[in-house]
Amino acid sequence: MDKFRILEIKESVFANNDKRAELLRSELKRDRVFLLNLMSSPGSGKTTTLKRTIEALKGEMSIGVMEADIDSDVDARAVEQAGAKAIQLHTGGMCHLDAEMTRQGLDGLETSGLDLVVLENVGNLICPAEFDTGASRNAMILSVPEGDDKPLKYPLMFSKVDVLLVNKIDTVSLFDFDFGKLEERVRRLNPKVKIIPISAKTGEGLGEWADWLRAEVKSWKETK
């Protein structure tokens, strides 16, 4: 049987994307625009949390949002109504965004005058974790109904994020969810991660989340 040549392309694809991501990050730094890559699985409350975040910060900073989805513009309309400049990104069936897609989105959004841009990434816990978007910081939302075992199933995602929002804490009495086990599992993967319990429905914990963002945006703008 003839031997076929095998090309290992995944590493080269990632390497090329990483270079583009670093370039994009340096350009955002120069322009003093903070880009937050917000990831989660579907149904975690990402858009509701984002709307609450916009409401908390819109009087202090100019905010733009890039809503990434396979189709529809429902989320972009929702965040625009909350008071942010918004653009919908259709990925054409792809389950993630990479640095070049993010750059195209930023060009379409037109970031001049914006302090904070949020990339609401495609909803899943696998593909988005693999690609550097060029973001200033990475955030993830895990909802209580998803369970405290998710770090065991999706370790890469939890190892990549700077902050973890644990949403829907108002429902914790309805589910078998152990915060202690979750924190232990997450910190084993990512010792420095900031963990903030929130409820996008009731507003609990959103003050701490807004304070974290304020500090990160300020630091990003002031640090050369």
pLDDT, residue 1, reads: 46
Does some domain include residue 104? yes
The answer to whether the beta carbons of residues 115 and 64 sit under 8 Å apart is no
pLDDT, residue 70, reads: 59
Q: Computed from CA positions of residues 67, 68, 73, 74, in that sequence, does the dihedral angle turn out positive or negative?
A: negative
Q: Answer yes or no: is pLDDT of 97 > 90.
A: no
pLDDT tens digits, residue range 184-195? 999 999 999 999
Domain, as residue range, for 52 = 10-222
Question: What's 177's domain CATH number?
Answer: 3.40.50.300
Does some domain include residue 64? yes
pLDDT, residue 3, reads: 61
pLDDT, residue 72, reads: 59
Does some domain include residue 4? no
Which has the minimum average pLDDT: 6-10, 98-102, 105-109?
6-10
Does some domain include residue 196? yes
Q: Answer yes or no: is pLDDT of 58 > 70.
A: yes
CA-based nearest residue to 149, from 184, 123, 195, 122: 184
pLDDT, residue 4, reads: 46
What pTM, to 2 d.p., does this model score? 0.91
Does some domain include residue 5? no
Does some domain include residue 1? no
Q: Answer yes or no: is pLDDT of 117 > 90.
A: yes
Q: Answer yes or no: is pLDDT of 140 > 80.
A: yes
pLDDT, residue 115, reads: 97
Q: Would you tell me how many other CB atoms lie within 10 Å of the CB of residue 102?
A: 27
Please tell me the total count of domains within the chain. 1
Does some domain include residue 2? no
pLDDT, residue 179, reads: 97
Does some domain include residue 88? yes
Sheet holding 34-40, edge to edge: 85-90, 63-69, 116-120, 34-40, 137-143, 163-167, 194-197
pLDDT tens digits, residue range 27-47? 999 999 999 999 999 999 998
Contacts of 182 (CB under 8 A, 6+ apart): 142, 148, 151, 166
